[in-house]
Amino acid sequence: MKTYLRILAYAGPIQRLFLFYFLTTLLAIFFGLVNLSLLIPLLEVLFSQTDVGGALVTIPKPGPSISLAHLKELFSCHFINIIATHGRVSALYFVCTIMIISVLLANLFRYLAEIIAAELRINVIHNLRKELFDKISRLHMGYFTKQHKGDIMAKVMSNVQEVEHAMEYTFKVFFKEPATIIGFFIVLFYISPQLTWLALLSLPIVGGGITTIVRRLLKRAAQSQASLGRLMSILEEAMGGMRTIKSFAVRPYILGKFEQENSTYAKLNFSILLKNSLVPLLSEFLGVLVMTLLLAYGGRMVFLHESTFTASTFITYIIIFSQALVPVKSISKSLSNIQRGLAASKQVFALADIQPAIVNKPDARIIESLQQAISFKEVCFAYDHKPIIKHLNLTIEPGKKIALVGPSGSGKSTITSLLNRLYDVTQGVVQIDSLPLQDYDVQSLRKLIGIITQETTLFHDTVFNNIALGRPEASELAVIEAARIAHAHDFIKALPLGYQTVIGAGGSKLSSGQAQQLGIARTVLSKPSVLVLDEATSALDSASAKLVQEAIDRLMQGKTLFVIAHRLSTIRNADEIFVIDAGEVVEHGTHEVLMQQGGLYKRLSMLYYQED
């Protein structure tokens, strides 16, 4: 129940509609029961049980009261008076007219209840997905290195969809159908308490078998949701790595991996289908069994005159009881969908409950520019208890250029991630202007620092929107100027629609050099005070690298720089070079000093840092 209450809390301001839903549902049930109850007088008219040779006389209208008995007396008064004054045909027309009105009102209120329920459901799912995406965007980078993107996508899309289906049935199972059953049994008790008690004593037979099946459904539903997440992860990885799959001729391996999980998912769903199909069948059989017992027992009472109710009343009782089985079957059929939604909601809320590792302090400061210096003081960082950075000390003053070099995996990129606060240090402190990074607002800190990596992330959008990413206020002139600085304007103008050309997912319609130039233009437009260049040209051919390097040189003017590069021309003019090995600074100094020392830097220069 706590899970459902939490789901419903996402309805937001329109929670007030719950009251209208309950009201319209109750009115729909009431007029539906009125319609069925009118079968008694209708049958009595048809069977001539209310006409005793014209002996009927008009009777006075009963006094005001609020009870089921009063409603019956009021109707009987009008009914008998019509027969007495106008005959059975007029009474028949009277009953039929009331039936039409009651059916119309019942369907009107049922329609209103369904519309309200749909609005509540849609609003809940909208707000739930919104919160999930907001939470995901706040999570620390370490979370994404541990989780498959496909599994996260499954929780946001497929699992939330299951929650929506569950909500649709929850309204029925927790309110509409129980209220309908209660309404039916109130009427049934009023007609015949003896038969109704017999029916109630038989209901545990129906519920016992269904409960056993539903418990197994919950387990299978949880397994199915987990399998779907793994399946989407395989699919997502295959789509992203299709070039590698084809290049290395590993398509059979990927197909086998996909088919194995696909088969597991299919078997789980088939198991759910078997149990799901069995529930309504079992419910219907046991319900008909109970109704047959009532038919035999009640029919005997009528034939032997052991009861005060007439044959028409008994027929109406059986019809009403048969209708009472409809919501019972609806509940049993809905339980499997609710169990799937319950299993899905547990995974959804497990994601929603993850607390971001990087959060703002209540009094976080906004930082707009670098005034003094950036300092790493005895900084240590470990990931999953594995040391990555060890006792790092370095200082970079405004307008200075610091280069980080070292073997692959030595921790160079991790240092820039700590500066951008994608991770928090394990020990020590990173400071800007003598204040720890934790004292600054995260968004303003990341706007302060521009990053250009060897892989630029582009989106399936226009060139203009990719350059002006996150800056809707950017003017066309500002975007064009940024593109000119990045040496991108000429090739952009040559595109079919210029700056309004859609470049495909990940910039698939551009070359790697062009994509990198757009990334540089984006950074130029953001006007960062601190610039991080992380292997910005290492993946490019010589011609593209030359263009990009020229753009970077123009961008670097007057900037405070962190440079990670394998190209000697990029780092040789740095004010200070730090050589990182296994997370530690093993050498530092200018290019000339380090070359004279003849240590790791010189060896790396000979092996990797060759000019093109």
The residue with tokens 């003896």 is 194
Least confident range of 387-401, 437-451, 595-609: 595-609
* HSE-up (13 A, CA, CB side) for residue 597: 17
Residue 532, helix vs strand vs coil? strand
Mean pLDDT throughout 356-363?
Answer: 83
Specify the amino acid at residue 192.
S
Q: What is the pLDDT of residue 611?
A: 47
On the 0-12 / 13-18 / 19+ scale of CB atoms within 10 A, 8 is middle
Residue 220, helix vs strand vs coil? helix
Pairwise CA distance, residues 405 & 411, whole Å: 10
Q: Angle at CA 379, nearest 5°, toward 374 and 385?
A: 145
On the 0-12 / 13-18 / 19+ scale of CB atoms within 10 A, 570 is buried
Residue 116, helix vs strand vs coil? helix
Q: Mean pLDDT score of the chain, rounded to an integer? A: 79
Pairwise CA distance, residues 65 & 282, whole Å: 43
Least confident range of 80-94, 129-143, 381-395, 412-426: 80-94
Contact by Cβ (8 Å): 426, 381: yes
**Residue 101 CB contacts under 8 Å (≥ 6 apart), including other chains:** none
pLDDT tens per residue across span 119-138:
888 888 888 888 888 888 87
- Assign 108 a pLDDT band (cuts: 50, 70, 90): very high
Pairwise CA distance, residues 594 & 203, whole Å: 87
206 — phi, psi (to 5°)? -70, -45
Maximum mean pLDDT: which of 278-287, 514-523, 548-557 = 514-523
Pairwise CA distance, residues 565 & 413, whole Å: 11
Tokens of 407: 């073997």
How many residues can be counted in the chain?
Answer: 612
Closest CA to 28 of 95, 109, 85: 109
Residue 381, helix vs strand vs coil? strand
The residue with tokens 């490019």 is 540
Tokens of 202: 């038989």
Q: Which residues pair with 578 in a beta bridge?
A: 404, 588
Q: What is the pLDDT of residue 34?
A: 81
Q: What is the pLDDT of residue 213?
A: 65
pLDDT tens per residue across span 278-293:
766 776 777 777 778 8
462 — phi, psi (to 5°)? -75, 160
Tokens of 477: 């002139």
532 — phi, psi (to 5°)? -115, 120
The sign of the CA dihedral 454, 457, 463, 469 is: negative
Measured between its terminal Cα atoms, the distance across the chain in Å is: 67
On the 0-12 / 13-18 / 19+ scale of CB atoms within 10 A, 452 is buried
The residue with tokens 């060890």 is 390
Indicate whether 601 pLDDT > 80.
yes
pTM greater than 0.75 (yes/no): no
Task: Provide the 8-state DSSP code for 157.
Answer: I
Domains, the chain, ranges and CATH? 2-51+87-352 (1.20.1560.10), 374-607 (3.40.50.300)
Task: Provide the 8-state DSSP code for 442.
Answer: H
Total Cβ atoms within 10 A of residue 370: 20
Q: What is the pLDDT of residue 52?
A: 45
Indicate whether 83 pLDDT > 80.
no
Residue 587, helix vs strand vs coil? strand
Pairwise CA distance, residues 108 & 24, whole Å: 9
Contact by Cβ (8 Å): 50, 312: no
* Of 606 and 364, more confident: 364
Q: What is the pLDDT of residue 464?
A: 92
Per-residue burial over 476-503, b = 16 or more CB atoms within 10 Å of its CB, e = otherwise: eebbbebbbbbbbbebbeebeeebebbb
SS3 sequence, 227-247?
Answer: HHHHHHHHHHHHHHCHHHHHH
The residue with tokens 């940024």 is 482
Stated as kind and residue range, the H or E segment containing 576 is: strand 576-581
Q: Angle at CA 198, nearest 5°, toward 285 and 70?
A: 115
Cα 434 from chain centre: 41
Stated as kind and residue range, the H or E segment containing 586 is: strand 584-589
Q: What is the pLDDT of residue 228?
A: 79
Distances (CA, A) of 438 to 339, 420, 430: 43, 11, 9
Q: What is the pLDDT of residue 509?
A: 84
Q: What secondary structure does DSSP assign to 317-365, as a single string?
A: HHHHHHHHHHHHHHHHHHHHHHHHHHHHHHHHHHHHTPPPSS---TTPB
pLDDT tens per residue across span 165-208:
777 777 777 788 888 888 888 888 888 888 888 777 766 655 55
* Sheet of strand 584-589: strand arrangement: 449-453, 530-534, 560-564, 401-405, 576-581, 584-589
Q: What is the pLDDT of residue 104?
A: 92
